[in-house]
Chains A and B, each alone.
Chain A
Amino acid sequence: MKAKQVVVHENTPHGMRGIVWSFKRYWQLWLLALPAIFFVVLFAYVPMWGIQLAFRKFEPSKGITGGKWMGLSYFKQFFASPMFGNIMRNTISISLWTLVMGFIAPIILALLINQIASTKIKGLVQTITYMPHFISTVVIVAMLNIFLTPETGLLGKFLGDTSLLGEPQWFTPIYWISEVWQHCGWNCIIYLAALSSVDVALYEAAKIDGAGRMQLIRYVDIPTILPTCGVLLIMNMGSVLSVGFEKVFLMQNALNSSASEVISTYTYKIGILGSQFSYSTAIGLFNTLVNFFFLILANYISKRVSDTSIF
């Protein structure tokens, strides 16, 4: 990693002067980055101004900053809510399953596709596996409904009298299996790219030393994609509690709601339908803080263990 770092000039000034100096010296680069910086500031930092809504009673006529200061009362309300335990359990179980399975599956798929010798077949397999990524969530859920309909559905035929979508204990598996199926092919592209950079000489050397197919994967392929895996895992950890809203919401029904009420659907019901903006902001902020914590934690562990980290 060191070699890639920009050599810092010996006489680089520090502090405020340093920044001014950097602007003068590299103004073309700054200009190049300006749209991106502007974008991040406008869409990521400016809206953070609204976070104070979580601590204030929102009164539309007075604007975001005008409401009465409520401190942590909305957070307390959420923690004390009878729904809290159930919602957290559902959110964590759905997201952990999706995270872990959605992380492993593309790696395996990529290693398998990499074993295909013919470029034509390889391309075909790759195309077929990533196609589902482009199906919209609404269609996916409709497909799930149709497949699981008792008596007539593709899978429902074999699964007894009731739709699996009505069984709370099946909600999480249906969610992550369909999620993995849909995005596995797409997510493996990045690993395939990493695998394509393997030096062919390594394979040849390993083969001469008598390595079999499994050993090639074990000692050449996996170490190559490991840094990529690490970075992706850390990034995924940042969304550990962010179960997507649409899919859960669309899959919800009265029978499975004990397993399908998650933070985002609850926020929707409370915030958008119930017009309690402060309360739902507090829930959203809590969600983000937990995600942030996991991101830092994963990054820290990864840094200590494998020297791969994103910051």
Chain B
Amino acid sequence: MAQRGVWKRVVTAAALFGMVVPLAACGSDKAENSTEADGKPVIKMMITRYSTDTPMTKMKWVKDVEAACDCHIQWEDLADSAWSQQKSAKLASGDIADASIFAFDPGDAVKYDYFDDLNANMDKMPNVQRFFKDNTVAEKMVKDKEGHVYVLPTDRGKSYRVSTSHFMINKKWLDKLGLQMPKTWDELTQVLTAFKTQDPNGNGKPDEIPFNMRRLDTDGFKLWNPFVLLNSTGITTSFAGTSPSLQGYYVKNGKVDSFLTQPEYKKVITYLHSLMEQGLVPKDAMTRDDAATTAATTGDGKTARSGLIVGWAKTDFEKLKDEYVPMPVPKDSADRPDSEVTWDYTQDLTELSNHGIAVSKNAKNKEAVYKAINALYSPKISVAQYYGDIPDFVEEKGDKVYRMKDGCYDGKIKCAAVADRFAGWIPDSISVENDQTAEALQEADKAYKDTLANVDPVKDVMPAYVRIDSEEDQTALGNNNTAILSYALAQTAKWIQKGGVDEGWDSYVKKLEDPSLGLKQNIQIWQKYYDQYTSEAN
């Protein structure tokens, strides 16, 4: 009997132990060290990237930064997809790294009081000071009214001072069919019709997609959506980054409005529907996945299938890139004077970003963090971050001239770099040769130079530095936009697919202007901040 009693107790104790241990493990995180065994401080840095295949520690410039701050950097490396799910939760819990790259923007600092005011310690970061002196727009993008800077901007250099969107058309097809570059919407329709019917890729199959259009999303306009055609009618869009253009707002002569209720918008819908009706855009263009659009753009690498796309540059077409050239903005009608036509103005948003690096208020080794930031913003390390290690992937050809190695583009060598997910500043005085993306972009942008000259970067565009500074206004904007866009975009998609915009337009405008949707309130909010920031600028 006694024997059994003992066993019982042993088993019970073991069971209890088994239940308690995992709990204990939950409670105590591994003690965090603020210094390494060698006495050097440790800083935790988080970075979000496209893909995390090359670990940060494998890049040599990281060693240079560690040498400069005399510290160790512990990297937390997140893919974009993971970050978009984690961001809200991280902010709500306050669990943020000592320094975070490409993760937070000044809008987050409005809502959450977690970030260190870097402006107060600017003297410890002379490279950032130089950056701000050199590029005042970048400074304005992050500095709030009281002069706080919670997030540092980044600048990838003058070669990226371009619009993000360009029409790219198949020149080979144009030449083969003896067609001119279209200048108006009507001419564009004719060209696209010829693309559809005359088998320009010569494979005998009717597999050409005249206008390989991207779909509309349900929560806003995305990069490279077909509504860049609004520029043909004189409404300047900025479909990139954090621009309110993505929610349908635009500026004209200093006045903010929403293009969702403008006759120009209706015009673009009507035009897109006419293309849809004639089979010049894919029939499932409104529902298909972006991957399908991209697949049709690159094709099989031998036979082109796309006639026209809205994209970045000819590099979008990969192996077929030599067939394509940029197409200048077509006018909505031949009567419209050239001076009224505009183009998607995203120069600031393409070159600069307002979510470079943010420092936690509770970082333990702030001095080391500042030193690290100063090193990151030094020209040479910035180049290494963006393009790849020097001299492994980028050659230093002399003072302020760098050259990317040839193999980086044809895939012969893997040039590991963080690209636009860097925290740094490539000053205008530096030139990087053989950056084929930048070269293609510059070439694409050239076709838009005259049109872009019609755009006043302050009066006709919501400047990149205009921000919503109050949490209340941010919330109101967000709620209203969800309601507005889910209605407007569904209608828009329906009209493009099936037509009927003429009959439905008036009731659509009436519904959008109903105060319960808050469109007017949103326009007023943007106008308020637009006035505030642009008047400060003068």
Contact = CB atoms under 8 A, between A and B. Distances in A.
Interface of A: 31, 34-35, 38, 58, 60-61, 80-83, 145, 149-151, 161-163, 165-166, 168, 252-258, 261, 266, 269-277, 279
A168 B493 CA distance: 11
Given A60-B112, A255-B493, A255-B494, A82 B516 contact: yes
B495 to A, nearest CB: 10
B287 A165 contact: yes
A82 B19 contact: no
Given A60-B92, A60-B93, A258-B490, A276 B289 contact: no
Given A61-B94, A254-B218, A258-B490, A273 B88 contact: yes
Contact of B219 (A80, A83, A269): A269
Contacts of A270: 478-479, 482
B215 A253 contact: yes
Interface in B203-256: 215-219
A164 B68 CA distance: 59
Given A163-B284, A253-B286, A257-B490, A82 B218 contact: no
A182 B369 CA distance: 53
A272 B88 contact: yes
Nearest to A269: B482
Interface string B63-88: 00000000000000000000001001
A254 B12 contact: no
The secondary structure that dominates the B interface is: helix
Given A82-B517, A253-B287, A276 B15 contact: no
A151 B207 CA distance: 12
Given A60-B94, A255-B497, A273-B88, A81 B483 contact: yes
Of the candidates A83, A253, A276, the one having the most CB atoms from chain B within 10 angstroms of its own CB is A253
Nearest to A259: B490
B483 A254 contact: no
Contacts of A151: 283
Nearest to A275: B88
A275 B91 contact: yes
Contact of B497 (A31, A166, A257): A166
Contacts of B487: 82, 258
A279 B475 CA distance: 11
Nearest to B84: A273
A60 B91 contact: yes
Query: Which of B19, B492, B493, B514 lies at the interface centre, i.e. has the most chain A CB atoms within 10 A of its CB?
Result: B493
Nearest to A77: B479
B477 to A, nearest CB: 10
Given A253-B218, A270-B478, A275-B91, 8 more contacts: A81-B479, A82-B516, A166-B497, A254-B489, A254-B493, A255-B494, A261-B486, A271-B88
B352 to A, nearest CB: 24
B113 interface: yes
A304 B46 CA distance: 60
Contacts of A258: 486-487, 490
Contact of A254 (B19, B85, B93, B216): B216
